[in-house]
Amino acid sequence: MSERGESRADWVDPEDDAASNEFRGPLPAVMAGFLLLVMVGGLLDLMLDAPDRVWSFHVLFELGMVISSLAFAVMLFRGWRRSAAALSSTQFSLEESQRLVAQRQAERDAWRHSAESALAGFSEAINRQFDAWHLTRAERDVALLILKGAGHKQAAAHLERSERSERTVRQHAVEVYRKAGLQGRAELSAFFLQDLMLP
């Protein structure tokens, strides 16, 4: 359903003449016109020949050509209209998808904008707590990575320094827990994040 309460089926009617105008290109119309011309030419030829017998081979052949041309012209025109309706429906679906993507992007941007001040305040509060625990620069880096969910190996890779081996990161993490009076990574995360959970 769209915002105006219309479904796709309400918006695009396969039998609607306006839908067929969406199908661009003269080829189907030219082919249908050619088949109709063959039909009219066959009828004129039949009338001009003025055959003696109505059910002669010549008359039956001409009538077969006329009926076949008419049938193919009708089939071609109906297929053209179905293609036009399908194209119109696809265009509508694409536009609707693009509108929804743009709407979701706008919602994400609005949320990020509204959360920036809260996140800045949260970051400042974490820094104040790190100051209260007297953490060194290296310990702060490790503690922040642990809060973001990184393991010791991931933290060592993220710091990208040769002296920041996994063993060194583990030692810094142990020192963080000792200074904070916490038992490990779970308590460190809970210290900062527990009150942020939804009720």
Instruction: Report pLDDT digits (tens) over 45-54.
Output: 777 777 677 6
Non-local (6+) Cβ contacts of 113 within 8 A are none
Instruction: Report pLDDT digits (tens) over 4-16.
Output: 444 444 444 444 4
149 to 95, 136, 170, 194: CA distances (angstroms) = 39, 20, 14, 15
> Average pLDDT, stretch 81-98?
89
> Average pLDDT, stretch 28-49?
73
Contact (CB, 8 A) for 36 and 71? no
Residue with tokens 């039956």: 60
Confidence band (pLDDT; 50, 70, 90) for 21?
A: very low
Residue 192 CA, chain-centre distance (Å), reads 37
Whole-angstrom Cα distance, residue 133 to residue 181? 9
pTM of the complete model beyond 0.85: no
Contact (CB, 8 A) for 174 and 195? no
The reported pLDDT for the residue numbered 95 is 93
Confidence band (pLDDT; 50, 70, 90) for 103?
A: very high
Any idea which of 17-31, 34-48, 97-111 has the lowest mean pLDDT?
Answer: 17-31
The reported pLDDT for the residue numbered 25 is 57
Instruction: Report pLDDT digits (tens) over 51-79.
Output: 677 677 777 777 787 788 778 777 877 88
Instruction: Report pLDDT digits (tens) over 106-161.
Output: 988 888 877 777 777 788 888 888 899 999 998 999 999 988 888 888 888 887 65
151 or 164: which carries more pLDDT confidence? 151
> Average pLDDT, stretch 159-169?
72
